[in-house]
Amino acid sequence: MAAAISALHQAMTNLENAVEMRLDVDRVKVDIELEVRRVHADRARLAQELDQSQFRANRLEEVNREVSRRLVTAMETIRAVLDR
């Protein structure tokens, strides 16, 4: 009878240890899932910021070309006036 009680006690201890290990694994899994969600959210935010930066850079290039074109026109006009 004592051997059966001892075996039952050992089985209960093993079960408690297994449950505790499973709970630890589940907690780690939840932490990892939360971190993955944060990483995806950061990635989406960074992608949006990159798109906005690229749009601004393209717009600045367009404005720069327009300013250069106008400067050339102004210089040609000034040269034409001075050559008269």
DSSP string covering 37-76, please?
Answer: HHHHHHHHHHHHHHHHHHHHHHHHHHHHHHHHHHHHHHHH
Render pLDDT for 25-67 as a digit per residue (tens, 0 to 9): 999 999 999 999 999 999 999 999 999 999 999 999 999 999 9
Contacts by 37-40 with C-beta closer than 8 Å and gap 24+?
Answer: none
Give the model's confidence band at 74: pLDDT under 50 very low, under 70 low, under 90 confident, else very high. very high
- Other beta carbons within 10 angstroms of residue 81's beta carbon come to 8
Q: Average model confidence (pLDDT) for the chain?
A: 96
